[in-house]
Amino acid sequence: MDRMRIGYLGYGSYIPSVVVTNEDLERIVDTSDEWIQQRTGIQTRFVMNKNESVLQMAVEASKRALADAGLSPDDIGDIRVGVNTWNRFPSLATQVQYALGTKESSASDVSAGCSGFIYAVEDAFNKIVIEKMKYGRDVKTLVIGVDGLSLVVDWTDRTTCVLLADGAGAVVMGRTEDNEILATCTEAAGKYGDLLYLDEFLNNQLTGENQVCFSNEKKIDRPFLHMQGKKVFPVAVRTMISNMKKVIERYNASSSGEPIRLTDVEYVFPHQANLRIIKAIADFMKMPLESIYTDGIKKYGNTSAASIPIGYVDTLGKVKGKIVIDVAFGSGFASGAILRRA
């Protein structure tokens, strides 16, 4: 059997409507535009308004990815959603399936911190391979990375509220000659669980309201995200670098073609957590920053599982044909990478 080429058929993203600037944050916590830009690179971030929700962002990004692929919901056989801010069941993926009206698709969520999109792509890739090889079916999948971190941010905690934001990105995956996923890898290090975690789900917090509160009057009784950023930082850099090496090793071990070296990589989509983390990756790769996606962290902050597919849409056309690595790291710590010919 010829090599089965699986790649992306379409891309979509959704950025919510409320912009939060560093100056806005200066009004609610003891911080400054200078501190935020120097330590994180973030200039603005976007959060949901009262009419937006994690589901609605996921659906909008999906519709755009389907339109970009020239496909209809009925063409989709599986939906995978990387998400951390859907603290309920039924799963977000099933509700996306209902909202889109796909007729015959499976649907499930993947909880893997900010690496949720990478995990979901790997799951979808494996699903497409198994469906074809075992059952002879050509399946196309919809893969979404979405999060509404504004729902779980403590807007009185300056160490986290300046970093985190909302957004969604999606791809349609299937067999194609146009581009190719060459290898994926994922891993976890649960011993770091207490460095970045969410409180237990305290109350019924099922509304779409993020309750961004531009005053410190009340601390809302709901689960908050907690992070020891200084401890997370070096592990994030180490882990993302090791994932990039590993995904190349996995490709070379599984391919009879020319091996790929780190220096062959022409563009990187790192999870957008902090510009200094991204710069550390650029130094390791000996790559100019222009060859690494950085606009996301500057414009949108850390959108968690959404940051990489949002980057795809922001750079459409720019990376065509290039050897690319997507690499992410997040709570857990769950991490992973994708090696692609874009």
Residue 226 is among the residues annotated as catalytic for this protein: no
**Residue 118: CB atoms within 10 Å:** 33
Residue 271 is among the residues annotated as catalytic for this protein: yes
Q: Which of 230, 254, 256, 288 binds ligand COA (CB under 6 A)?
A: 230
Helix H or strand E encompassing 326: strand 323-330
Q: Which of 18, 21, 24, 35 binds ligand COA (CB under 6 A)?
A: 35
Check residue 232 for interaction with ligand COA (CB under 6 A): yes
Binding segment toward ligand COA, per CB under 6 A, in 48-56, 66-74, 156-164, 178-186: 156-164
Nearer to ligand COA, 242 or 252 (CB): 242
Check residue 31 for interaction with ligand COA (CB under 6 A): yes
Six token digits for residue 328:
């992410």
Check residue 158 for interaction with ligand COA (CB under 6 A): yes
Six token digits for residue 116:
């949720």
Which amino acid appears at position 191 of this protein? K
**In the complex, minimum distance from the CB of residue 309 to ligand COA, in angstroms, rounded to a whole number:** 15
CA distances to 141, 250, 255 from 173, rounded to whole Å, are 5, 21, 21
Binding segment toward ligand COA, per CB under 6 A, in 200-208, 223-231, 243-251, 334-342: 223-231
Its sign, for the CA torsion 75, 59, 94, 126, is: positive
Backbone angles phi, psi at 236, to 5 degrees: -60, -45
Check residue 218 for interaction with ligand COA (CB under 6 A): no
**In the complex, minimum distance from the CB of residue 162 to ligand COA, in angstroms, rounded to a whole number:** 4
Six token digits for residue 47:
């959060």
**In the complex, minimum distance from the CB of residue 327 to ligand COA, in angstroms, rounded to a whole number:** 12
CB 312 within 8 A of CB 340: no
Nearer to ligand COA, 79 or 152 (CB): 152
CA 63 and chain centroid, separation:
17
Nearer to ligand COA, 56 or 302 (CB): 302
Check residue 162 for interaction with ligand COA (CB under 6 A): yes
Half-sphere exposure of 263 (CA within 13 A, CB side): 0
**Burial letters for 276-291: b for 16+ Cβ neighbours within 10 Å, e otherwise?**
ebbebbbeebebeeee
CB 330 within 8 A of CB 271: yes
Among positions 110-129, residues that touch ligand COA (CB under 6 A) are 114
**In the complex, minimum distance from the CB of residue 153 to ligand COA, in angstroms, rounded to a whole number:** 12
Nearer to ligand COA, 36 or 107 (CB): 36
Q: How long a stretch of residues is the chain?
A: 342
Residue 216 is among the residues annotated as catalytic for this protein: no
Half-sphere exposure of 93 (CA within 13 A, CB side): 26
Nearest residue to ligand COA by CB is: 229
Residue with tokens 């997040």: 330
Check residue 260 for interaction with ligand COA (CB under 6 A): no
Q: Which of 40, 85, 105, 150 binds ligand COA (CB under 6 A)?
A: 40
Check residue 273 for interaction with ligand COA (CB under 6 A): yes
Distance CA 243, CA 248 (A): 9
Closest CA to 56 of 225, 200, 210, 224: 210
CA 62 and chain centroid, separation:
14
- Of the residues 22, 84, 114, 185, only one is catalytic, namely 114
**In the complex, minimum distance from the CB of residue 185 to ligand COA, in angstroms, rounded to a whole number:** 17
End-to-end CA distance of the chain: 23
Check residue 330 for interaction with ligand COA (CB under 6 A): yes
Check residue 159 for interaction with ligand COA (CB under 6 A): yes
User: Which residues are known catalytic residues?
Assistant: 114, 271, 302
Where along the sequence are the contacts to ligand COA (CB under 6 A)?
Answer: 31, 35, 39-40, 114, 158-159, 162, 227, 229-230, 232-233, 236, 273-274, 302, 329-330
